[in-house]
Amino acid sequence: MGGRVLSVASEAVPLVKTGGLADVVGALPAALAAEGWEMRVLLPAYRSLRPLLAKGGGFAEVMREDDLWGGPGRVYAGESGGLSLYLLDAPHLFDRDGGPYNGSGGDFGDNAQRFAALSWIGARIGREGVAEPGARAGAALWKPDVLHAHDWQAGFAPAYLALHGAGGCASVMTVHNIAFQGHAPAALLGDLRLPASAFHADALEYYGGLSSLKAGLVFADRIITVSPNYAAELMRPAYGLGLEGVIAARAGVVSGILNGIDTALWSPEAEAQNPYSARAMAGKAKARAALEAEFGLSVPGPLAVLVSRLTDQKGVDLLPAALPDFIAAGGGLAVLGSGDPWAEAQMQALAAQFPGRVAVRIGYDEGLSHRMFQGGDAVLVPSRFEPCGLTQMYGLRYGTLPLVAAVGGLADTVIHASPAALSAGVATGITFWPTDALALSQALRQLIRLYADRPTWAKMRRAAMAQDNSWTESARAYAALYQGLRA
Ligand code: ADP
Ligand code: GLC
């Protein structure tokens, strides 16, 4: 049992992160090691990562390609942040200011080529294997049994394996978010090293152009979504966003494996300030007082928190309509996030409208996010769609009850406080549907009522904190999937 997997992705904690994708890619290797699978991660050597490649950093060149879309590419192998890495150094593609996908002028114009290059190298490692750093000539290569591609950035990798030779390497495509599809014009087909013979609707063609995500969905041996519910949703137009037919056509190889969370990192017992546990909750009350002080809040009722990218996906634009009644009933809200300027402005306007009750920090702050999960009573996740979602699981673990839209992984992880669930003692939060201001307002009203009912609230907290959201089960599911592909 067990084997080797190359994970191909654009982000991984602790090296580079814009969202939950990075948490998952960063957590999978340790989770799978426990199941006997050795996973290495291929990432681009962005400007921020190039210092790792300096002499003495422990990275060694193991593969090169002279012309990788306009310049040379070199692959370095080494260890960093607890991960076994392959870093693709192609300065003409990745040594830039800005984030992984964009600079001050918006999305990079050559993202198709940049991530095709990553996928190309991933497929080469899968097909050919790669020498271990410092190995003698003729020594055994590191050759993965499975290439595991994440999202559109790695979507061409399964296609390159299928169309240029797989060398016995199987492929898995995980969809973390179907809203990002890696569109490119059809004119790039040859430049992207894709054969014209595969440019038809059952393979590479997507509404007259290309989509690297579609390529991965068509050519991967297995398709995984990050929650079971999202797998079902993606076969419907409302959530498939144009790719529903592609997914439905492959339904026999599609399944959902729920993300886990890193329970060493996200643990109320392990916090330096105000630790607490289900059996000794005093630290949580202190954490709430500290959080109110930090945000300049004074809230008589439940204190809700929201830690999120501020984008249309996350439904934060529903708050201006839904919040006033909640505030009037004694509630409060602390927001941490960054994203679309309109959404940031909307959050700041709410803070101005309700001083002392609503406060907002625009930015990205891991430490503050921990204090918010510690000190909050409830975490809001009013997403329009949510492939899995991680913050509701942090909330469960911290006894900060999730109030979530019943979509995607949110519906798979939160048990709504229905009369039946309450009397059975299994309720862990509040879910609402559809994602609109009316349903959100109703859910916030229920939050006020439940919070006022102290015994019920305490019981829900205990149930939430007892839920297992670790990687254990999901790592087993991934290992079984890999094993099946190997056999
Ligand atoms: P998505 O990947 O769609 O953004 P997830 O819930 O899967 O949503 O993951 C988001 C991750 O990013 C979580 O780990 C969350 O705590 C973190 N996060 C989002 N915004 C911020 C922020 N402003 N500061 C700190 N952490 C944040
Ligand atoms: C995406 C999704 C999010 C999911 C994360 C990790 O960013 O938006 O729901 O939790 O990927 O899979």
Query: Domains of the chain: which residue ranges?
Result: 3-260+471-486, 268-465
Nearest to 302 by CA among 277, 260, 334, 271: 334
Reference 245, options 222, 209, 214, 216; nearest CA is 214
Q: What are phi and psi of 230, to 5 degrees?
A: -65, -30
CA angle 32, 35, 38 (to 5 degrees): 50
Which atom, in ligand 1's list, is nearest to the CA of 381? 6
Is there a contact between 405 and 436 (Cβ–Cβ < 8 Å)?
no
Rounded Cα distance between 56 and 156, Å, is 33
DSSP output for 78-107: EEETTEEEEEEE-HHHH--SSSSSEETTEE
CB of 256 within 6 A of ligand 2: the answer is: no
| Nearest ligand to the CA atom of 260 | 2
Tokens 């004074």 found at:
298
**Cα–Cα distance measured from residue 335 to residue 31, given in angstroms and rounded to the nearest whole number:** 31
Identical fold, 3-260+471-486 and 268-465: yes
**Strand boundaries in 243-331, DSSP class E:** 254-256, 303-310
* Ligand 1 geometric centre to CA of 292 (Å): 21
Cα–ligand 2 centroid distance for 18 (angstroms): 10
Instruction: Identify the helix (H) or strand (E) that includes residue 295.
Output: helix 282-295
CATH fold, domain 268-465, is Rossmann fold (3.40.50)
In short, whether 315's Cβ falls inside 6 Å of ligand 2 is no
Q: What pLDDT, on a 0 to 100 scale, did the predictor assign at position 137?
A: 86
Q: With residue 33 as reference, give the H or E element that holds it.
A: helix 20-33
Token pair belonging to 299: 């809230």
Q: Which one, of 115, 392, 438, 384, lies nearest residue 241 by Cα?
A: 384
* Candidate of 178, 379, 390 to mutate for ligand 2, largest count of ligand atoms within 8 Å of Cβ: 390
Closest C-alpha to 333, from 302, 309, 362? 302
Distance between alpha carbon 250 and the CA centroid of its chain, in Å?
23
Q: pLDDT tens, position by position, for the chain (487 residues)? A: 799 999 999 999 999 999 999 999 999 999 999 999 999 999 999 999 999 999 989 999 999 999 999 999 999 999 999 999 999 999 999 999 999 999 999 999 999 999 999 999 999 999 999 999 988 888 999 999 999 999 999 999 999 999 999 999 999 999 999 999 999 999 999 999 999 999 999 999 999 999 999 999 999 999 999 999 999 999 999 999 999 999 999 999 999 999 999 998 999 999 999 999 999 999 999 999 999 999 999 999 999 999 999 999 999 999 999 999 999 999 999 999 999 999 999 999 999 999 999 999 999 999 999 999 999 999 999 999 999 999 999 999 999 999 999 999 999 999 999 999 999 999 999 999 999 999 999 999 999 999 999 999 999 999 999 999 999 999 999 999 999 999 7
Alpha-carbon distance of 453 to 155, in angstroms, equals 49
Separation CA 158–CA 148 (nearest Å)? 9
E-strand stretches of 66-212: 73-80, 83-89, 102-103, 106-107, 130-131, 141-142, 146-150, 170-175, 183-184, 205-206, 209-211
CA 246 from centre of chain:
22
- Three-class HEC string of 436-458: CHHHHHHHHHHHHHHHHCHHHHH
Tell me which of 309, 370, 374, 414 to substitute to probe ligand 1's pocket, judged by most ligand atoms within 8 Å of the beta carbon.
309
Residue 56 identity (one-letter amino acid): G
Taking CA atoms only, the protein residue closest to ligand 2 atom 5 is: 20
Using CA atoms, how far apart are residues 208 and 343, in angstroms rounded to an integer?
33
| 22 ligand 2 Cβ < 6 A | no
Query: Whole-prediction pTM value?
Result: 0.95
Return the residue whose CA atom lies nearest to atom 9 of ligand 1.
Answer: 20
Q: For 377, which DSSP code?
A: S
At 361 the pLDDT is: 98
Return d(Cα 389, Cα 1) in angstroms, integer: 31
Domain range 3-260+471-486, CATH architecture: 3-Layer(aba) Sandwich (3.40)
Estimate the share of the chain in helix, then strand, then coil, as percent rounded to the nearest 5: 45, 20, 35
- Name the residue with the closest Cα to ligand 2, atom 1: 176
Q: Please report the atom of ligand 2 found closest to the CA of residue 408.
A: 9
Buried b (16+ CB within 10 A) or exposed e, 280-317: eeebbeebbeebbeebebebebbbbbbbbbbbebbbbb
